Structure 1
Amino acid sequence: MNGVQASETEALFSVLRQSAGGDAVTAIEALVREGPDRALNRVNVLDFAVKNRLDEERAIAAFLHAARVGLFDLSWNVLCPGCGGVLDANASLKTVHTHDYNCALCGAGYQATLDEMVEVSFTVNPRIRRIAAHDPQALPMWEYQRQIFFGTGIDLPDKFEQIIDEIVIDSIELPPGERASLSLQLPSEFVIVFDPVTHAAQFLDVKGEPTRERQNLTVVFNKVRAQSATLQMRPGPLRLALENRTDVRVLPAVCVAGEALHHLLGKRRPFLTANRLLTNQTFRDIYRTDTLDVDQRLKITSLTFLFTDLKGSTELYERVGDLVAYDMVRAHFRILHEIIAAEAGAVVKTIGDAVMATFPTPDRAIAAALRMRDAMSSIKHGDRDLLLKIGIHEGPCLAVMVNDRQDYFGQTVNIASRVQGLAVSRSIFATGPVVEHPGSSSILKTSSLEPVRQRASLRGITDELVVYEIP
């Protein structure tokens, strides 16, 4: 760093320390100052937290604040569930589209889901520190594969290039507008000609009697991601003609799609999903309305919804008076917000005296509900506690924008709201997917709570639903 960079960076870290946890900020500062270039590109926050022994939620919050002040840039990357490759990189979630993404390497199409296919990563801002990945076209071939093509959920080994040597028959860097040819021997294997820049692939099913006659194949790289049919070829010599019709270099490689490749792509690690970020209170507080486009409808395969409402709030105002009741209700909201954030959830909205919150997993919602119920004993007038009605349900939904606010839509939301309506006392009501989640079961068992199974008819829901009352 030069003097200007150093002073600007120090000023930004000073701002960051005012809003984020000390240990996380210290670790991020060490990363920016001392980390290798590769470590500052598309940072996997969950992996960063593990390696630095940080609480995940604190690490996520610290990186979000670091992005807000300009130390890092967020990227919303659409990943292939098969190979873990980045099918699309976006500076904003608004540009993630809802139609199919096709992976040429896997030969499959997928519709993006926020909890399975969209990762959020952080790259150091070039004004803070310039790294090699800021100019992807200058990266060496295999560093491009490692840092640009693969997402943060792939756990690539340090000996990545050694494994590549075992897999790759031949490869070449082909400048824009140029042609080249490779002469190689095809083994009796399934072979792929793949370019990570244009995401183009040609599959070769090499089998049968070996031949001494030279076979010929031409592969053209352009911006059209059309899926090629699998060609059958015989083991033996091949002249592979390559043509680059794009305005950037391409990096085609001829690979054997065998056990070594499958083992390489099979090593995965957790990554920060878009869904988890949307259910993070720090993210919602910082970005508020600048999340989705008004016309977007992005799918989430699993999200847990928790609804609360105060029992007898009208009677409370009559009993203790407007001023005291108002203070009690405000105190209740403050406690709920703190508990929801502490359990990795986020408040979507408040409606009167009710709260709608989301959690990444059912066990987090159960833990929050139990803490909420206990916390109400601290808000009382005379000898009477506030009673909180709580309902929880988990399932698929759509992330949408409603009235300039990021919200959720679907039957899962409706059911969660209706389940909350079943509660008439301190009991918490939850559906089967919530109670039967392994984490939830463990929490309930540790708390010596035995859910009571029952069937219930919910308004607007055709069939009866199995629900559990947690006493």
Structure 2
Amino acid sequence: MIDEKKLEERLVALEAAKSWSPRVVSRLEMLLRSGTDEALYRINPIQFATEKSMAEAEGIDLFLHACVAGLFDMDWLLVCPMCSDVVESFRSLRKLHTHFHCHLCQSDYDAALDDYIAVTFTVSPAVRSIRFHKPDGLSAWDYLFSYKMTPGGIMPDGVPWSEAAKGLIRALTRIEPGSAANLEVDAAEGGLLGQDFESDAQFFFPVARGAGVTPPHVPVILDGGKCVAATANIAPGKVVFEVRNAGKLPAVFGILQLPMATFQRPKLHFTPFLSGKRLLMTQTFRDFFRSEVISATEGIAVLDVTLVFTDLKGSTALYERIGDLNAYIQVQRHFQHLLDATVRHNGAVTKTIGDAVMAAFLTSADAVQAALDMREAVDQLNRDRPQRDFILKIGVHRGASIAVTLNERLDYFGQTVNIAARVQNLADGDEICITEDVYGAPAVAEIIAPYPVAKSEAELKGVSKAMSVYHLARMAS
């Protein structure tokens, strides 16, 4: 059911939020009005952008602004890399943690923002109600395959694991506390796996010819996340499992037919999705979701981030020469140019410190191109002035980091941050310094090929070995 008044009001707000490419908002409106419940649940904005021939960055911005307008709610998902199960979902980054346990795989994982943390969007119940807003009312089938699992985990043959798993299910039902269900299956050679998809409770029976007489009924008790099944030899043919839920919570219980007793699930790869890392490097998220902070005391790992630090050379003299107010206005103009260059190359400004900027990027190629654009933008500022008031120094480094909350703001912490800042200190005026990790990253060599490059070895405080640093000067005029 659609609330037409709220839908119209919020679409108008979305339309006015920024200048969109043609028909972007109308495509989202069509989805909201005519999309199935499945299509409006946990939307992957990268997939949406691809299907609608939109730029990925605009697709992400579209859903972020739609959240601000109240059309969608944002979900942070912890996804199991082995079975694409949504182990946990959170409405806020604040509630996200990095250690998780998959009941289906019975495995523990540590999540990083790069991979196991996905961000999706679900239509707001205030705008349109869908059955997934009330998961307790879902059928066991919908609960498992639409609510618990994602279609993004792909097997080597190109088939989503969630689709392949459907072919393994022989029985599936919801069992309330104190209730029981008789689940009859036609067992084939291989194995039968019984699983409560809400806990670690499971059983496994090999199925083989000559195993003896199969009992007509096999009692199974679920209680407190454990499963106790009667001992039985099972041969191919009909068998009934009497499953009783002695626990205090409902169980969604299924029996899967595995092709062999030693069945190993194939390794999955995932279709492109909006990772937590990419969202944190999206300026729109940082601008409009400032209340989103990381509560995990140890922070959340980021396996690969490229950081850019900038600073103005001689800014103190500028304040002295033209006065604090005029200097402040000019420095703010410089900040806006740096922000524009950062966003243009898929990055986000993490913070400003005095006259300095720290920005984060998905790739080193984006970071280096942004640094070059920053230098050019500041040069344009100087052309309108009687003298070169703005001289930029830039440092770029790539590595692992920790996403944390510092001073109630999302930030990065660790040695990668320290090195990036110290490499910036090595830069002379109008110079960009990049480390070996950046220099050797994909596509960087092609980007810097037109520029004079000088290599040096630098001793950095807190770093045990000397680091190779590449100094990018301006192209000869």
Same fold (TM over 0.5): yes
CA deviations 1:268-311 (Å, max 9, x no partner) are 21111112111211111111133223846222222221101112
Q: Provide the residue aligned with 1:17 in structure 2.
A: 15
**Rounded Cα–Cα distance in structure 2 between residues aligned with 1:127 and 1:220:** 41
Residues 355-404 of structure 1: per-residue CA shift (max 9 Å, x gap)? 01111222221221111122122111335373211111122222222222
Q: The residue matched to 1:67 in structure 2 has which SS?
A: helix
Q: Does the C-alpha gap of structure 1 residues 220 and 276 become closer, same or farther in structure 2, counting only changes over 3 Å? A: farther
Q: Give the C-alpha shift of residue 437 in structure 1.
A: 2.0
Contact map agreement 2:172 2:254 (CA 8 A) in 1? yes
Find out whether 1:194 has 2:195 as its counterpart.
yes
Alpha-carbon distance, 1:434 to partner? 2.1
Counterpart selection for 2:428 from 424, 445, 453: 424
Q: Give the C-alpha shift of residue 173 in structure 1.
A: 3.6
Per the alignment, do residues 247 and 300 of structure 1 end up closer, same or farther by CA in structure 2, a change over 3 Å counting? Answer: same
Q: Give the residue type in structure 2 aligned to 1:431.
A: T
Greater CA deviation, 37-46 or 326-335? 326-335
Q: 1:161 to 1:349 in 2, by over 3 A?
A: closer
User: Alpha-carbon deviation of 1:109?
Assistant: 0.7
Letter in 2 for 1:206: P
CA RMSD of aligned residues (A): 3.2
Contact 1:218 1:240 in 2 (8 A): yes
1:273: which partner in 2?
275
Counterpart code for 2:472: I
Tell whether 2:107 aligns with 1:118.
no
Partner of 1:93: 93
Secondary structure of the structure 2 residue equivalent to 1:240: strand
**Aligned equivalent of 1:364:** 366
In structure 1, what is the Cα distance between the partners aligned to 2:74 and 2:209? Answer: 52
Partner of 1:382: helix, strand, or coil? coil
So what's the TM-score if we normalise by structure 2? 0.86
User: 1:146 deviation in Å?
Assistant: 3.0
Amino acid at match of 1:350: T
User: Mean Cα displacement is larger for which, 87-96 or 141-150?
Assistant: 141-150
Cα 1:126/1:322, change in 2 over 3 Å = closer
What is the alpha-carbon distance in structure 2 between the residues aligned to residue 414 and residue 228 of structure 1? 54
Deviates more, 1:203-212 or 1:435-444: 203-212
Q: Which amino acid aligns with 1:273?
A: S
Given residue 146 of structure 1, which amino acid in structure 2 is its aligned partner?
F
Aligned residue in 2 for 1:413:
417
Give distance in 2, aligned partners of 1:233 and 1:145.
Answer: 29
The offset of 1:317, in angstroms, is: 3.7
Q: Cα deviations across residues 237-283 of structure 1 (Å, max 9, x unaligned)?
A: 655342322433514232426799946x7362111111211121111
Aligned residue pairs, count:
462
Equivalent position SS for 2:167: helix
Distance 1:269 1:61 in 2: 20
Identity %: 34
The CA distance in 2 between the partners of 1:270 and 1:159, in whole Å, is 13
Aligned partner letter, 1:179: A
In 2, are the aligned partners of 1:378 and 1:385 still within 8 Å (CA)? no
Provide closer, same or farther for how the CA distance between residues 458 and 320 of structure 1 changes in structure 2, counting only shifts above 3 A.
Answer: same
Instruction: Write out aligned runs for 1:61-210 (5 A).
Output: 61-98=61-98, 100-151=99-150, 153-154=152-153, 163-164=164-165, 166-184=167-185, 186-189=187-190, 191-196=192-197, 198-200=198-200, 202=202, 204=204, 206=206, 210=210
- 1:400–1:407 contact (8 Å) kept in structure 2: yes
* CA 1:435–1:369: 2 relative to 1, 3 Å: same
Structure 1 window deviating more from structure 2 (175-184 vs 200-209): it is 200-209
| Residue type of the alignment partner of 1:109 | D
The offset of 1:234, in angstroms, is: 6.4
Q: Which amino acid aligns with 1:386?
A: F
Structure 2 regions of 5+ residues with no counterpart?
none
Q: Which amino acid aligns with 2:34?
A: E
Amino acid at match of 1:425: G
Please give the alpha-carbon distance, in whole angstroms, between the structure 2 residues aligned to 1:260 and 1:58.
Answer: 43
Q: Which runs of at least 4 in structure 1 moved beyond 6 Å after TM superposition?
A: 156-162, 226-229, 231-234, 257-261
1:432 shift after superposition: 2.5
Task: Give per-residue Cα distances to partners, 1:321-346, cap 9 Å, x unaligned.
Answer: 55554443222111001111222211
Displacement of 1:435 after TM fit?
2.3
Name the structure 2 match of 1:454. Answer: 456
